[in-house]
């Protein structure tokens, strides 16, 4: 009997530790289709801070649900998507955006693909020259 209670407690602990349900509007669309389109458009450009590989529109994380609710509430209140985006960037940093600005801190993000492409062209050119000589 003690063993059964211990097993039940072990399996019930993770369920009890789960956080509360997402906020209102997290998965509820706005009544106005134009506002919902604005909200969805903005949510697809914002990165989930928990998942880091998904937008807040696609993530199942509670934090993403809270952010979806926040976006919908602010859109419903009449705020512009760019204002909401700027507020979220101010709060969470440029990382939250899939389109970070070109500044000193993000220069490597923007320049690394170009540098890698140039390095690949240089290596390929050298390889083709060696083959031509042989």
| C-alpha distances out from residue 81 to 12, 43, 73, 84, 115, Å | 41, 9, 11, 5, 34
pLDDT at 17: 46
Average pLDDT, the chain: 82
Sorting pLDDT into bands at 50, 70 and 90, what band is 29?
confident
Q: pTM (2 decimals)? A: 0.63
Cα separation of 88 and 94, whole Å? 9
Give the model's pLDDT for residue 3.
66
pLDDT band per the 50, 70, 90 thresholds, residue 18: very low
Express each pLDDT in 55-96 by its tens digit.
999 888 899 999 999 999 999 999 999 999 999 999 988 888
């Amino acid at each position: 009997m003690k063993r059964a209670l211990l097993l039940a407690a072990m399996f019930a602990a993770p369920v009890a530790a789960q956080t509360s349900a997402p906020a209102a509007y997290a998965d509820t669309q706005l009544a106005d289709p134009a506002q919902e389109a604005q909200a969805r458009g903005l949510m697809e450009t914002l990165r989930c801070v928990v998942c880091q590989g998904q937008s807040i529109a696609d993530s199942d994380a509670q934090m993403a649900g809270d952010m979806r609710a926040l976006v919908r509430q602010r859109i419903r209140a009449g705020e512009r998507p760019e204002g909401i985006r700027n507020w979220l960037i101010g709060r969470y940093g440029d990382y939250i955006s899939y389109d970070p600005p070109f500044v000193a801190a993000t220069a490597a993000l923007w320049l690394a693909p170009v540098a890698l492409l140039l390095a690949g062209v240089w290596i390929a050119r050298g390889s083709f020259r060696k083959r031509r000589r042989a």
